[in-house]
Every structure is written in C-alpha cells, then in structure tokens.
C-alpha cells in the first residue's frame, strides 16, 4: 500500500501533503514572499506525520516538485526529499512543477497554460488540454502580444499561476481567463504521484537533480560609489 509524502517548494509556497493510495490524509502549507522553506519544510513534515499518526518508517515513497521554479526553493525541496529517501530507503518520485500547477484548474473547456514568473518579462510555461494532456512542452519565453497566438485562435485559454499577471497586462481579457493567485500545491501532487508509483516510475536518488530550465545566475553586488 502506497504511503507517499509529497513536497512542493518551487515557488514562494512551502507545501507538504501525505497520501495513502491516492487519498489525502493531511496537508500543511504556507506562502511567504521571503521564501521561508529552509525554516518551514522540516517542521511541516514532522508536524504533518505526527498529526496523521504516521512514522517515517511507514512511508513508501517521497514525491517532489522537480521544477522549473525558484533555484533556492527547488534545491531545498529536492535535497530534503533525497535525504529522506536515502535515510529510509524510500522510492523517489519527481513531478513537473507546471503539471502540478495546472491541476489547480479542473473541469473547464479550453487550453490550460500554467505559468511561473521568471526574470523581467519572461515566464516558464507549458500548454495542456482540458484533461491535462501535454500539447507543448515546458519553455522559458518572453511574453509579447503574440504569445500563445496559435492557441487563442482555436480555444479559450486558462492562464494559471504567478506568471499570469504579467501576461494579463499584454494579452488582455478577450478569450482568456486568468488565475494569478494559484500556486503549485502538494495537494495536487497526490494523483500524479500515485500514478507514477503504480507504474514504477522512480528516480535514481543518487543522481537526480532539479529541473532548473535556466542556469542559476548569481548577481554580483553593485560596487559602492567612491567618495
């Protein structure tokens, strides 16, 4: 019987869920623009397991949001998931963050486009049909008036996630619904994780790395003006 701990830290939200055979047992999540994952994640996991009456020894797998997303958030989430898998000899399941985000919107007609904010006018995006089947794979793209034009001609668009806000300013309202306040949640990982567990689709714990999509750029501090 699959008892899966789900961890999602790709954005400002730190989210942890526990599920048995695809059924939610408990959820703990908080959102902070200060990216409090390093302070919250281990506390959330321990509290959630205690509240659900489950020990680490009972877990069978850990599922983690693999990215794209925040470099720091992904690093913390993936390293925690891998650490648990090593320590407890658990299976590791990786789920694309944009798929998790897209599952926040269900039972609608049209095309789903989950979006995460990147630098400047850039977003990470993916295109799925209304039943969450992939139409276009994940890309980093600069938003312009022509963005998603081919899909707009045929379908109503549902732009989901924190990257939707910058799109709204450029693409307008015609034929588009916006969900800028939705964030990827561990609660939406449960069905995806159970499907991968049943199919035996696991990652190599030793070699798995987050899907950053773009290389992390360390900003150099500005030089202080000379007196």
- Say what the pLDDT of residue 222 is: 47
Q: Could you tell me which residue, 114 or 222, shows the higher pLDDT?
A: 114
Q: Which domains does the chain have, with CATH numbers?
A: 3-97+184-199 (3.30.420.40), 105-179 (3.30.420.40)
Q: Could you tell me which residue, 215 or 34, shows the higher pLDDT?
A: 34
107-110 contacts at long range (C-beta below 8 A, 24 or more positions apart): 108/158, 108/177, 109/156, 110/155, 110/156, 110/157, 110/158, 110/177
Q: Which of 26, 65, 8, 9 is nearest to 17 (CA)?
A: 26
Mean pLDDT in residue range 52-62 = 98
Residue 221 pLDDT exceeds 70? no
Give the three-class secondary structure for 19. Answer: strand
pLDDT band at residue 163, thresholds of 50, 70 and 90?
Answer: very high
Let me know how long the chain is: 227
User: From CA 140, how far away is CA 50, in angstroms rounded?
Assistant: 39
pLDDT band at residue 30, thresholds of 50, 70 and 90?
Answer: very high
* Dihedral of the alpha carbons of 202, 118, 149, 132, in degrees to the nearest 10: 30
Give the three-class secondary structure for 177. Answer: strand
Q: What is the pTM of this model?
A: 0.92
Average predicted confidence (pLDDT) for the chain: 93
- Say what the pLDDT of residue 102 is: 98
pLDDT band at residue 215, thresholds of 50, 70 and 90?
Answer: low
């Amino acid at each position: 019987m699959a008892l899966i701990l789900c961890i999602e830290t790709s954005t400002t939200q730190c989210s942890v869920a526990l599920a048995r055979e695809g059924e939610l047992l408990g959820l703990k999540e908080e959102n902070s623009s200060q990216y409090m994952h390093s302070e919250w994640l281990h506390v959330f996991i321990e509290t959630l397991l205690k509240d659900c009456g489950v020990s680490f020894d009972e877990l069978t797998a850990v599922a983690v949001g693999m990215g794209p997303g925040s470099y720091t958030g992904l690093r913390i989430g993936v390293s925690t998931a891998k650490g648990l898998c090593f320590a407890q000899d658990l299976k590791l399941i990786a789920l694309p963050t944009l798929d998790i985000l897209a599952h926040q919107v269900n039972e609608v007609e049209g095309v789903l486009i989950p979006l995460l904010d990147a630098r400047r006018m850039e977003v990470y995006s993916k295109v799925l049909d209304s039943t969450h089947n992939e139409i276009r794979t994940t890309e980093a793209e600069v938003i312009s008036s022509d963005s998603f034009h081919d899909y707009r001609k045929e379908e109503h668009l549902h732009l989901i996630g924190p990257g939707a806000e910058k799109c709204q300013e450029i693409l307008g309202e015609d034929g588009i619904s916006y969900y800028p306040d939705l964030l990827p949640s561990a609660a939406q990982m449960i069905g995806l994780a159970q499907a991968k567990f049943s199919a035996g689709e696991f990652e190599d714990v030793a070699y798995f790395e987050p899907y950053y999509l773009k290389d992390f750029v360390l900003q150099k501090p500005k030089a202080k003006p000379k007196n």
